[in-house]
Structure 1
């Protein structure tokens, strides 16, 4: 496998593992909120918003890692009857269609991030009313990382197709 693909997959793996650690503050914040609300009748103004930001960040930053590990949903009922060469070709075509879409989404998210930062946009989801730009950074980074992983999958599928074609 090329050094380029290995580097992408190392970055994807590192960020995916780091994203898994977002579950710790999520669980702590949710537990604190439940105890404060029901045991002390003193709900927080921050737990809801922190919870959905951490959940979203965990999900988004895990997308590329999930793709790298081959854990996205596939319709195996169709592909299991195909040859390895045909499956590699379908993967190559599919990833080649998805890659420009990931680039387009990443570019659009950059504009959305800049606009939110320049306006000082805030969430309006709770009394905490967090600024939205940090979450938009996560959003954009997640889709750039997914685009890079899709590119790595294109390279791997192309290599596999070429090897099976011989």
Structure 2
């Protein structure tokens, strides 16, 4: 259940509690991440079709392909990386729960807020800067895969890494605002069920 964003709870009105702009930013980022996550999930259809094609060609016609292996690991790796922001939105990332359940909602918000500011953002910025250099180097040198005779171009695959970091940082803005809400009001902005993977 999401936070009450009725006119009574939005600060441009008397009795408001959280800036209207924060609600709008959270909603816009969450919608963006939801749409991109669903689009990225379509990669699984590509994987299903290509791997099925490979099975039929290999075992039905004794004519294996040279491109399915590489295209499937690149598609799966890209979906895994680019889907990380969607997983953050849904609360599917790993959390150590040994003490977490005993914390108050406000303390959970404080821990998360500090973690985002001190660990998440510095790590994502570093990750993005290093991976941008790798993707540019791959593009400049015309790097090709050595995994098969197909020799796929590598820079689009390498470019998914800085893009994944960017998508995570965008969703991180929404999560930081949700943490601020939790710290300020002692309740979750939106309740997320634990997701078992």
Please classify the TM superposition score into its range, dividing by the shorter chain length: over 0.9
What residue is the counterpart of 1:24 in the other structure? 45
Work out whether 1:129 is the aligned partner of 2:159: no
Of Structure 1 and Structure 2, the greater helix share is in: 1
TM-score by length of 1: 0.93
What residue is the counterpart of 1:77 in the other structure? 98
What residue is the counterpart of 1:161 in the other structure? 183
Please give the secondary structure, in 1, of the residue aligned with 2:94: coil
Q: CA deviation at 1:57?
A: 1.3
- Give 5+ residue unaligned stretches, structure 1: none
Q: Distance in 2 between matches of 1:7 and 1:127?
A: 44
Work out whether 1:61 is the aligned partner of 2:85: no
Q: Distance in 2 between matches of 1:15 and 1:98?
A: 21
Q: CA deviation at 1:8?
A: 2.0
Q: CA deviation at 1:81?
A: 1.1
Q: Distance in 2 between matches of 1:9 and 1:112?
A: 29
Larger Rg: 2
Q: Distance in 2 between matches of 1:9 and 1:86?
A: 23
- Contact 1:95–1:151 under 8 Å retained in 2: no
Please give the secondary structure, in 2, of the residue aligned with 1:77: coil
Q: Distance in 2 between matches of 1:152 and 1:81?
A: 25
Q: Which runs of 4+ in 1 moved over 4 A?
A: none
Give the superposed CA RMSD: 1.5
CA deviation string 1:80-133 (max 9, x = no partner): 111111111111111112111101111111111111101011111111111111
Please give the secondary structure, in 2, of the residue aligned with 1:36: helix
Q: CA deviation at 1:159?
A: 2.1
TM-score by length of 2: 0.79
- Give 5+ residue unaligned stretches, structure 2: 1-21, 188-197
